[in-house]
Amino acid sequence: MFKGLFNVIVKEVKELVRDPTLLLGMIIVPLIIFPLMGFAVQTSMKAAEESMENISIAVMNLDKGTVAENLTNFLTTLGVTIVKIDDLNFTEAVNYVQQSNLTGLIVIPLNFTNNITGGLKAELDVYSVFRGGGIAESTSSSTISTLLKSFEESLVFQKIFEEIPEEDPQTVLNPIDMSEKSIVKGKSVNIHPSVLFGLMMSQSMGMPIGIMMLLIFAMQLAATSVASEKEEKTLETLLTLPINRLTILAGKLTGSIIVAVVGAIAYIVGFTYYMGSFMGIMPAETGVDLAAIGLAPTPISYLLLGASLFVSLISALALAISISVFAEDVKGAQALVGPLSMLLIFPMIFMMFTDIYALPFPLMIVLLAIPFTHPMLASKVAFTGDYLTAVIGIVYVSIFTIAVLYIAARLFGTEKILTAKLKFKGLRRRKRKPAE
């Protein structure tokens, strides 16, 4: 029945891979844009780091007392460049700070020292200069407040030391030492929960995005491969060849899958590189042995994810092919298939930020009814160990796939695949008729 299938697949792959616009999408976006984005993030973060190293602040000291003096000394010893502008009035000071590229301005008001030594609350005005609002600016502004906080802490320490000299100020200030650990699948593990959440986040963000991109890409390919047969007027010839129509359909599905998988790998490589550019800067995660705590994907979870992805891929392709039968050309097909990508983006967004079982019931039902939610759910199986949900999802998507495949096969088997297009043509001809 599938005689000639290999011949069709080879042709499909050749046609798709040699399409210059498609190649552009497959190479430019993943292999050039992602690394470029990574590079941009990396350099701007480096710039932020550097600007943290050379912070320069203008200080307008109206107090002139000892504590005010201590404060400026404290900042200087921590490497901050201090510019004293006591002679200027406030308006002049603000102007000066803006123009001379300083990070900020600290105004120490009158009575600052008196208030602190007298046990009253003292005020301090801190201004950060807002220039463009990049990462570098926000980090250096938060650095100023961190530095001031640690000055404040040193005041507290001193006070404790004066009042209760026999005790450790550290212990007085933080009498409880909390040690945070996690419970995973019924076992306690000596890992801070935020580390685990971080790991899960990267997984639950990355997989749905990857799955969404793979499926959208594959759908565009399948739609293109059907519509270009019409646009290039090769379909009529193809349909009179001694080859089963189902073989043509299977060839188109397989060809699109092959190219989509290659495209997806390019995306994954590009995306990993992009993510890697963050990792270089973030503090390295404590070497957590996921396998030891049962969070590493098991062979079963890989198998389930693979199966779920496979059936979803087939259903997405069959759906795209069925719809593109009604288009006249490639542009039309892509316009028809475009809205389908909402079926992928919608679950992806929810999947990235929430647990869909925590959503309001109607919304949850809607999401679960969308077949493409299920491979994304299956991608969490390694963390949840909830194999049953994954299996139910696979069964559900399989039934959907069979239904869509049946429709696609019907469309391919009849003259609809030709006349769906011709109908538009017929309408247009009919409109022109009265003029004759």
Ligand X SMILES: Nc1ncnc2c1ncn2[C@@H]1O[C@H](COP(=O)(O)OP(=O)(O)OP(=O)(O)O)[C@@H](O)[C@H]1O
Pairing of strands 125-128, 81-84: unpaired
Under rule CB under 8 A, residue 19 binds other proteins = yes
Between 213 and 325, CB nearer to other proteins:
325
Matching residue, tokens 């030492």: 177
CB 385 within 8 A of CB 186: no
Judge whether 56 and 81 are in contact, CB under 8 Å.
yes
Instruction: Say which entry of ligand X, other proteins, none residue 186 contacts (CB below 5 to 8 A, set by partner kind).
Output: none
Q: Does 426 bind ligand X (CB under 6 A)?
A: yes
Using the rule CB under 6 A, is 422 a contact of ligand X? yes
Strand partners, 126: 106
Alpha-carbon distance 371 to 402, whole Å?
12
For ligand X, which is the closer residue by CB, 121 or 428? 428
Start-end of H helices in 298-415: 299-324, 330-337, 342-353, 361-369, 373-378, 381-384, 387-413
Residue 24 as a binder of other proteins (CB under 8 A): the answer is: no
Strands 182-184 and 125-128, by their bridges, are unpaired
Using the rule CB under 8 A, which residue among 49, 153, 168, 236 binds other proteins?
Answer: 236
Shortest approach of other proteins to residue 239 CB, angstroms? Answer: 6
Instruction: Tell me: does residue 234 bind other proteins (CB under 8 A).
Output: yes
- What's the closest the beta carbon of residue 306 comes to other proteins, in angstroms? 31
Query: Whose Cβ is closer to ligand X: residue 53's or residue 415's?
Result: 415
429 exposed, middle or buried (CB, 10 Å; 0-12, 13-18, 19+)?
Answer: exposed
Residue with smaller CB distance to ligand X, 166 or 415: 415
User: Closest CB to ligand X among 370 and 422?
Assistant: 422
List the one residue from 188, 429, 431, 432 that touches ligand X (CB under 6 A): 429
Give the three-state DSSP class for 127.
Answer: strand
Stretch that binds other proteins, among 9-17, 27-35, 141-149, 280-288 (CB under 8 A): 9-17
239 scored as a contact of ligand X (CB under 6 A): no
Residue in 419, 420, 435, 436 binding ligand X, rule: CB under 6 A: 419
- Based on the shown chain and the rule CB under 6 A, indicate whether residue 280 belongs to the binding site for ligand X: no
State yes or no: residue 414 binds ligand X (CB under 6 A): no
Nearest Cα to 401, choosing from 301, 308, 327? 308
Please, which residues bridge with residue 58 across strands?
A: 83, 105
Q: How far apart are CA 379 and CA 200, in angstroms?
A: 11
Binding to other proteins by residue 409, rule CB under 8 A? no
DSSP 301-325: HHHHHHHHHHHHHHHHHHHHHHHHT
166 binds, among ligand X, other proteins, none (CB under 5 to 8 A by kind): none
Q: Does 179 help bind other proteins (rule: CB under 8 A)?
A: no
Minimum distance, C-beta of residue 248 to other proteins, in the bound complex (Å): 11
- Report whether 247 contacts 238 (CB < 8 A): no
Contact status: 14 vs other proteins (CB under 8 A): yes
Q: In what side-by-side order are the strands of the sheet with 125-128?
A: 81-84, 56-61, 104-108, 125-128
- CB closer to ligand X out of 134 and 426: 426
Given 5, 11, 96, 262, the residue binding other proteins (CB under 8 A): 11
Sort residue 79 into left (φ over 0), alpha (ψ -120 to 50) or beta. Answer: left
The number of residues in the chain equals 436
Of the listed pieces 13-21, 156-164, 179-187, 381-389, which binds other proteins according to CB under 8 A? 13-21
Which residues of the chain form contacts with ligand X (CB under 6 A)?
419, 422-423, 426, 429
Which residues of the chain form contacts with other proteins (CB under 8 A)?
4, 7, 10-11, 14-15, 18-19, 232-234, 236-237, 239-244, 415, 418-419, 422-423, 426, 430
